[in-house]
Amino acid sequence: MNFPTLSDIRAAHERIQPFIHRTPVLTSTAINEIAGCEIFFKCENFQKVGAFKARGAANAVLKLSPEQKAKGVATHSSGNHAAALARAASVAGIPSYIVMPSNAPEIKKKAVKGYGGEIIECEPTQKDRETTLEAVVERTGATFIPPFDYLDVIEGQATCALELLEELPDLDVVIAPVGGGGLLAGTALTVHYLNPKTQVIAGEPTGADDAFRSFREGAIIPNTTTQTMADGLLTTLGKLPFAIIQKHVEDILLATDPEIVEAMRLVYERMKVVIEPSGAVPLAALLANKERFSGRKVGIIISGGNVDLGKLPF
């Protein structure tokens, strides 16, 4: 398997740079005191579309051939990838077709429409999402850009850690959340290339712990049910990300929903920053395993800030 190399990742960063934010790295003395270590938060909640997903989608779209571009891109998603792909397509001036379940939140549909994406509704089942998408691709000739199980997307997500390590080359650990695994795999590749001594650790919600179990078993064990507020991390780990994670990730740590709420609260109260539950999982996992990080320099990727303000857990 040809995983992205360091020069591939650097090229991806050059490619997408005009279309994404270089997000800030924030620190909080108060949170450091509570955690007993020195934390550097890479704030992808400030990223375009409010999540790191803007990186992978932009990279995948910009790498298409002119012929592919002419026919546009398609995906099925009810979350941040939908908006990210619609935006990337809009930036590239090409059409996008987004298959969304009929019960997707109105605000997510609005975001996709705002970027000029065409929404195709389907039944809220995995099967109908897939068959609807197949029909769309058949009809339009658009290229399917999956949310994480796709090398160009992983390559794009890898640019986040590139910025973080350019700023802080001597981190002891980087913690990223894991859902489908695109961000974690990209992070693991970049960190491996730039500083093999830096450990990469994942944070995962206890209520959707397929990556935790898969990592220990050495084979993907899908979630049969999921129950967590971290709605960005419900998907089962992808095959490509898993291959990278097995090689370059040190460990996967779990956090319960009450621990996630507490980590969210800390970030809102002490850093005055809005993050989504999934974005709080790495800090929650760190705080649940404080002794392991004691006195160390830790980079944490805050994956996104798209939260329904009417449903905050406070």
Q: How far apart are CA 225 and CA 208, in angstroms?
A: 8
The yes or no reply on residue 46 touching its own copies (CB under 8 A) is yes
The yes or no reply on residue 310 touching its own copies (CB under 8 A) is yes
Task: Among 12, 249, 274, 288, indicate the residue that binds its own copies (CB under 8 A).
Answer: 274
Q: 53 catalytic, yes or no?
A: yes
Contact window for its own copies (CB under 8 A) among 45-53, 80-88, 90-98, 214-222: 45-53
Contact between 191 and 165 (Cβ < 8 Å): yes
Strand order in the sheet with 199-205: 25-26, 38-43, 297-302, 173-177, 199-205, 251-255
The yes or no reply on residue 258 touching its own copies (CB under 8 A) is no
Contact between 277 and 313 (Cβ < 8 Å): yes
Residue type, 288: A
Torsion-angle region of 36 (φ positive above 0: left; ψ -120 to 50: alpha; else: beta): left
CB of 196 vs its own copies, minimal distance in Å: 33
Task: Among 14, 123, 130, 269, indicate the residue that binds its own copies (CB under 8 A).
Answer: 269
Torsion-angle region of 292 (φ positive above 0: left; ψ -120 to 50: alpha; else: beta): alpha
Q: 127 catalytic, yes or no?
A: no
For its own copies, which is the closer residue by CB, 173 or 266? 266
Residues 62-101 that bind its own copies (CB under 8 A): none
- Diameter of the chain by CA atoms? 57
Query: Please, which residues have CB within 8 angstroms of residue 296's CB and are 6 or more apart in sequence?
Result: 37, 38, 172, 173
CB of 185 vs its own copies, minimal distance in Å: 25
Task: Among 174, 273, 285, 300, indicate the residue that binds its own copies (CB under 8 A).
Answer: 273
Contact window for its own copies (CB under 8 A) among 56-64, 77-85, 150-158, 261-269: 261-269
Q: Which residue is catalytic, options 42, 53, 108, 109?
A: 53
Q: What is the CA radius of gyration of the chain?
A: 18
Q: Which residue ranges make up the site for its own copies (CB under 8 A)? A: 24, 45-46, 50, 265, 268-269, 271-275, 305, 309-310, 312, 314
Catalytically active residues are: 53, 303
